[in-house]
């Protein structure tokens, strides 16, 4: 998450500033020498140069200085030598204090080994007299989030409360980020609402959490409060707001956000451009999405995949496949969403052979087909009337088929009046989802279409016996109101 990276970068900068500012020397000459070597370490261009400085520090009394030895640990990490160099230097330091521990814990929390950061924290807690401060705990909470350690994260939260650091802005912010990462938005919101002071990064994180975890209405509530509190909005906020608009299908409001971006952002970052394309795709405004896509100065696999998926799901077969070819020729490696888009296009266009070819390509690119890919492939076979082949394809899946895969075959059976296969699949679906009325109705309708009225009536009676009823349909209509992007600006899509 881009918002989280801003928070952790700020915390890291404050941490080392505090480390350097708290180290004093009674000897001005020593202080000057320490500053000189600190600058040399900081500007070290490569690993060889850093090793020479390391040797120089060892040969002099300077290696005993906690600032320089801590900086050495940090610089080895910056040269991608966190393991074993940084770790080795850290454990051979003549003197370690809370700032040294914070540096090594922080570097591991930002690495591919967040579990090691947690091990180091536990080592510090159990085997040293050093106690964590308001810089240590956010780093540990980040490691919990990065490693997915929900239980340990809750324990560290308890430690924050017991030690009194939970009231710190840094610690409370880190707790919110951790719970947002875990998808536990309730606890994140409780902590967020209980904070006496909240900055723009924290507001943005809460909004992004709701947007990314499928809670768009709560996201809008947070955004409205941001505006009421005069919190400055920027492109990062707009990315989350566009995601909310796409989830709700609010095309008019999405256009308002797009218009704000055009007026206030000198150039679209890649993430913002992708968010605008994705919003228009989800609102089924493919012409707008394609126009924004064409104007983007930089595109990645997400830009291409979003547009390909949009055209694929809407049945624009030729455009989706042409975009895939352009992407392939441009040297961009497709991802799982890309293949979902082309498989959906093949299903809508009845292109069975092409679908088989694309499905095989998934493995060629080192990807693993998921349930949605299998469902799309089965849907393609089912629409073409190849229902027995679709059933065999499903049985050969490396995992148990889910509702989407079974439902794709059943839909094909209904279209082609294949009662034999449809009966087997419908019974599996009823066992899998006994509360879903649609599967009972489809099976009953297939029986009725085949003249098997007694069996159709049995299915209807079974629905009554299990108290299963169809859920009434409903429509969503976007209102004419708009939401404000600042207290002095009430944007309507007509302004765009």
At 427 the three-state DSSP class reads helix
Polymer length in residues for the chain:
496
The pair of three-digit structure tokens given for residue 70, joined into one six-digit string: 């801590």
**Four-point Cα dihedral 201, 202, 208, 210, nearest 10:** -170
Least confident of 13-17, 182-186, 276-280: 13-17
Helix, strand, coil proportions of the chain in percent (round to 5)?
Answer: 75, 0, 25
Q: Which of 471, 430, 426 is nearest to 450 (CA)?
A: 426
User: Is pTM, for the whole model, over 0.75?
Assistant: yes
Least confident of 25-34, 362-371, 461-470: 25-34
Strand (E) or helix (H) holding 13: helix 2-21
Mean pLDDT of 38-55: 91
Distant-in-sequence, close-in-space partners of 440: CB < 8 Å, separation ≥ 6: 430, 459, 460, 462, 463, 468
| pLDDT, tens only, 398-455 | 999 999 999 999 999 988 989 999 999 998 998 888 888 888 888 898 889 888 999 9
Please, is 18 exposed, middle or buried when counting C-beta atoms within 10 Å of its C-beta (0-12, 13-18, 19+)? middle
* 5: pLDDT strictly greater than 90: no
Q: Domains of the chain, with CATH numbers?
A: 198-298 (1.25.40)
For residues 141 and 178, is the Cβ–Cβ distance under 8 A?
A: yes
pLDDT at res. 20: 47
Question: What is the C-alpha to C-alpha distance for residues 434 and 432, in angstroms, rounded to an integer?
Answer: 6
For residues 340 and 373, is the Cβ–Cβ distance under 8 A?
A: yes
The pair of three-digit structure tokens given for residue 353, joined into one six-digit string: 């052979």
For residues 413 and 387, is the Cβ–Cβ distance under 8 A?
A: yes
The distance from CA 106 to its chain's CA centroid, rounded to whole angstroms, is: 22
Backbone angles phi, psi at 238, to 5 degrees: -65, -35
pLDDT at res. 493: 34
Question: What is the C-alpha to C-alpha distance for residues 87 and 104, in angstroms, rounded to an integer?
Answer: 7
pLDDT at res. 265: 79
The distance from CA 324 to its chain's CA centroid, rounded to whole angstroms, is: 24
Q: Which of 384, 396, 392 is nearest to 424 (CA)?
A: 392
**At 9, is the pLDDT very low, low, confident or very high (cuts 50, 70, 90)?**
low
């Amino acid at each position: 998450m881009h918002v989280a990276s801003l928070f952790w970068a700020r915390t890291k900068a404050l941490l080392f500033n505090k480390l350097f500012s708290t180290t004093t020397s009674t000897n001005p000459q020593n202080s000057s020498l320490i500053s000189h070597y600190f600058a040399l370490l900081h500007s070290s261009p490569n690993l060889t140069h850093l090793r020479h400085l390391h040797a120089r520090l060892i040969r002099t009394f300077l290696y005993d200085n906690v600032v320089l030895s801590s900086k050495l640990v940090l610089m080895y990490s910056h040269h991608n030598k966190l393991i074993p160099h940084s770790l080795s230097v850290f454990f051979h330091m003549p003197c370690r204090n809370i700032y040294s521990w914070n540096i090594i814990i922080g570097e591991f929390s930002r690495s591919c080994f967040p579990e090691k950061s947690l091990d180091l924290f536990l080592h510090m807690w159990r085997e040293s007299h050093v106690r964590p401060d308001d810089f240590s705990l956010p780093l540990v909470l980040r490691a919990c989030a990065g490693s997915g350690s929900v239980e340990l994260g809750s324990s560290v939260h308890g430690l924050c409360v017991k030690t009194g650091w939970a009231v710190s802005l840094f610690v409370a912010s880190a707790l919110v980020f951790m719970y947002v990462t875990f998808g536990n938005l309730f606890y994140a919101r409780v902590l967020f609402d209980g904070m006496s002071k909240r900055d723009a990064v924290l507001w943005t994180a809460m909004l992004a959490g709701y947007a990314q975890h499928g809670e768009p209405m709560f996201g809008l509530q947070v955004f409205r409060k941001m505006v009421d509190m005069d919190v400055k909005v920027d492109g990062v906020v707009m990315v989350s707001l566009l995601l909310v608009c796409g989830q709700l299908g609010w095309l008019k409001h999405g256009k308002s956000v797009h218009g704000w971006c055009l007026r206030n952002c000198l150039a679209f970052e890649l993430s913002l451009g992708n968010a605008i394309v994705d919003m228009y795709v989800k609102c089924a405004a493919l012409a707008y999405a394609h126009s924004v896509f064409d104007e983007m100065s930089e595109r990645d696999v997400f830009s291409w995949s979003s547009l390909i998926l949009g055209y694929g799901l809407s049945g624009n077969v030729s455009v989706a496949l042409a975009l895939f070819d352009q992407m392939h020729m441009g040297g961009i490696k497709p991802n799982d969403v890309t293949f979902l888009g082309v498989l959906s296009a093949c299903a809508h266009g009845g292109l069975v052979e092409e679908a088989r070819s694309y499905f095989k390509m998934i493995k060629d690119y080192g990807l693993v087909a998921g349930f949605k890919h299998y469902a799309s492939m089965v849907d393609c076979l089912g629409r073409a009337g190849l229902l027995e082949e679709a059933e065999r394809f499903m049985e050969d899946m490396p995992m148990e088929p889910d509702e989407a895969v079974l439902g794709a075959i059943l839909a094909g059976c209904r279209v082609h009046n294949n009662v034999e296969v449809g009966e087997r699949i419908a019974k599996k679906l009823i066992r899998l989802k006994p509360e879903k009325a649609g599967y009972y109705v489809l099976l009953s309708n297939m029986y009725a279409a085949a003249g098997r009225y007694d069996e159709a009536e049995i299915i209807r009676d079974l629905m009554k016996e299990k108290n299963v009823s169809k859920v009434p349909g409903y429509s969503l209509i976007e209102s004419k109101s708009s939401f404000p992007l600042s207290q002095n600006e009430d944007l309507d899509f007509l302004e765009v």
